[in-house]
């Protein structure tokens, strides 16, 4: 049972509940000062003032809260139960807290030793990198940028990277070359933690001992550019899908509901362009008939490599948002809802005539029909 949280007198051994952090129950094991429940008042919301006593509370997990003010214990986020445990239960709670504290100390010492060993191992394994001891006058961001520059130069020779930094971030930019994922695999080790959008807080990662040794920043941003080839390939893609292309307004060209330039970036984004640095390339079909848009295309040197006549798929192509014929002449967004039976039947016949194995299925409403892929 729950007693009046304002007028009731809290005793040693009283069971209480705190709703914060998922909720937890505990036991009052010590009381400081004289309680004054009548002076506790709410300012609205969760803020309370008043009271003159403090309480030590041991939670059922073994954790302790020391000298919690009376105004908090009697606040809206807490409950005071009618249950009061005896002296033996209080002693059991105290033993639990001592055991947990000893265990936490042992774990902390073991973690500190592990992290120290990792730092020593990193210094030996990455002897070519600069450490904070080598450049004590440098900021952590400057040190991280210098080491990222070294690692990228060694991993991707011939690719020019622009690496800049401040105290909180490092920015890496390059043209063509390796994929963003490959660069992030190297540069990402210098991030000291991560941002949590749910709590709107940045969480430092104490286990990232690599950043402790070689420099770390809160954020590492990578940005890959494709230069002039981006618009050139967008124009080629527009011709493949028979849509108009204006070189002065490349973003205005739409393919399957997205800009041709955006589509080219999707294709190039998954490709390592290091072998083509300084070379002209052209788009060629991969032969994939089902998947996202980027799966349908790759690049090859131009004009040396000709597309084999049998490399394109024979059947229709399914993309993430549209279905289209091999020649790109028929486009249809899916899934799509139909209210009229005759419209659904007409579209079904058209798709089947173009090689699609599809059927009509009903939605939750009796008049709601969808075209569904069979295979």
Q: Which whole-number Å values give the CA distances from 48 to 75, 76, 78, 189, 249, in the listed order?
A: 6, 8, 12, 45, 61
* Spatial separation of the C-alpha atoms in residues 185 and 130, rounded to whole Å: 19
126 neighbors 143 (Cβ within 8 angstroms):
no
| pLDDT greater than 70 at residue 179 | yes
In the predicted model, what is the mean pLDDT of residues 145-166? 94
Three-class secondary structure of residue 167 per DSSP: coil
Three-class secondary structure of residue 5 per DSSP: coil
Domain ranges of the chain: 1-122, 140-225, 232-313
In the predicted model, what is the mean pLDDT of residues 186-214? 91
Q: According to the model, what pLDDT value does residue 7 have?
A: 59
Q: Is 183 left (phi over 0), alpha (psi -120 to 50) or beta?
A: alpha
Q: Which of 35-44, 46-55, 274-283, 353-362 shows the lowest per-residue confidence on average (mean pLDDT)?
A: 353-362
Task: Kindly report the average pLDDT of the chain as a whole number.
Answer: 86
| pLDDT greater than 70 at residue 316 | no
For 359, phi and psi rounded to 5 degrees? -150, 170
Name the pLDDT band for 329 (thresholds 50, 70, 90): low
* Spatial separation of the C-alpha atoms in residues 255 and 336, rounded to whole Å: 18
| pLDDT greater than 50 at residue 240 | yes
Tell me which CATH code domain 140-225 carries: 3.30.70
Name the pLDDT band for 14 (thresholds 50, 70, 90): very high
Closest-CA residue to 368 (of 333, 335, 322, 346) = 335
For 298, phi and psi rounded to 5 degrees? -145, -175
Tokens of 198: 């749910």
Tokens of 89: 């239960």
Q: Which of 67-71, 119-123, 210-214, 237-241 shows the lowest per-residue confidence on average (mean pLDDT)?
A: 237-241
Closest-CA residue to 141 (of 174, 112, 164) = 164
pLDDT digits (tens, 9 = 90+) for 114-128: 999 999 999 999 999
18 neighbors 78 (Cβ within 8 angstroms):
yes
Name the pLDDT band for 318 (thresholds 50, 70, 90): low
In the predicted model, what is the mean pLDDT of residues 170-199? 93
Q: According to the model, what pLDDT value does residue 314 have?
A: 54
pLDDT digits (tens, 9 = 90+) for 333-371: 656 677 788 888 888 887 777 777 778 887 766 677 777
Beta bridge partners of 64: 58
Q: According to the model, what pLDDT value does residue 349 have?
A: 83
Closest-CA residue to 372 (of 334, 345, 320, 346) = 334
Strand stretches in 245-316, DSSP E: 254-255, 258-259, 281-285, 297-301
Three-class secondary structure of residue 284 per DSSP: strand
Whether a cis peptide bond, with omega within 30° of 0, leads into 303 is yes
Q: What's the order of all strands across the beta sheet hosting 358-362?
A: 337-338, 369-373, 358-362
176 neighbors 277 (Cβ within 8 angstroms):
yes
CB atoms within 10 A of CB 362: 11
| pLDDT greater than 60 at residue 253 | yes
Three-class secondary structure of residue 130 per DSSP: coil
In the predicted model, what is the mean pLDDT of residues 121-143? 94
Q: According to the model, what pLDDT value does residue 42 have?
A: 83
In the predicted model, what is the mean pLDDT of residues 48-62? 94
């Amino acid at each position: 049972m729950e007693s009046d949280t304002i007028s009731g007198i809290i005793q040693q051994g009283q069971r209480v509940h705190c709703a914060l952090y998922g909720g937890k129950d505990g036991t009052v094991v010590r009381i400081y000062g004289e309680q004054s429940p009548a002076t506790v008042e709410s300012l609205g919301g969760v803020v309370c003032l008043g009271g003159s006593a403090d309480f030590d509370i041991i939670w059922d997990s073994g954790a302790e809260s020391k000298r919690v003010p009376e105004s908090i214990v009697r606040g809206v986020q807490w409950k005071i139960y009618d249950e009061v445990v005896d002296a033996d239960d209080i002693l059991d709670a105290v033993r639990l807290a001592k055991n947990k504290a000893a265990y936490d100390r042992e774990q902390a010492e073991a973690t500190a030793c592990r992290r120290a060993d990792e730092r020593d191992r990193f210094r030996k394994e990455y002897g070519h990198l600069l450490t904070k001891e080598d450049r004590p006058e440098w900021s952590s961001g400057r040190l991280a940028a210098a080491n990222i520059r070294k690692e990228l130069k060694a991993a991707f020779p011939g690719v020019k990277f622009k690496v800049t930094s401040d105290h909180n971030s490092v920015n890496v930019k390059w043209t063509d070359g390796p994929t963003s994922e490959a660069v992030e695999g190297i540069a990402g080790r210098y991030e000291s933690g991560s941002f949590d959008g749910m709590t709107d807080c940045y969480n430092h990662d104490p286990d990232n001992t690599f950043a402790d040794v070689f420099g770390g920043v809160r954020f590492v941003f990578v940005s890959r550019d494709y230069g002039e080839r981006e618009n050139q390939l967008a124009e080629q893609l527009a011709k493949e899908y028979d849509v108009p292309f204006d070189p002065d307004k490349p973003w205005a060209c739409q393919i399957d509901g997205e800009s041709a330039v955006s589509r080219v970036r999707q294709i190039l984004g998954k490709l390592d362009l290091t072998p083509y640095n300084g070379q002209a390339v052209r788009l060629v079909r991969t032969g994939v008939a089902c998947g996202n848009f980027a799966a349908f295309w790759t690049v090859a040197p131009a004009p040396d490599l000709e597309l084999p006549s049998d490399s394109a798929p024979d059947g229709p192509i399914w993309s993430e948002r549209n279905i289209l014929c091999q020649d790109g002449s028929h486009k249809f967004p899916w899934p799509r809802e139909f209210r009229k039976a005759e419209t659904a039947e007409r579209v079904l016949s058209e798709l089947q005539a173009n090689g699609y194995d599809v059927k009509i299925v009903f939605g939750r409403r009796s008049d709601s029909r969808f075209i569904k892929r069979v295979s």
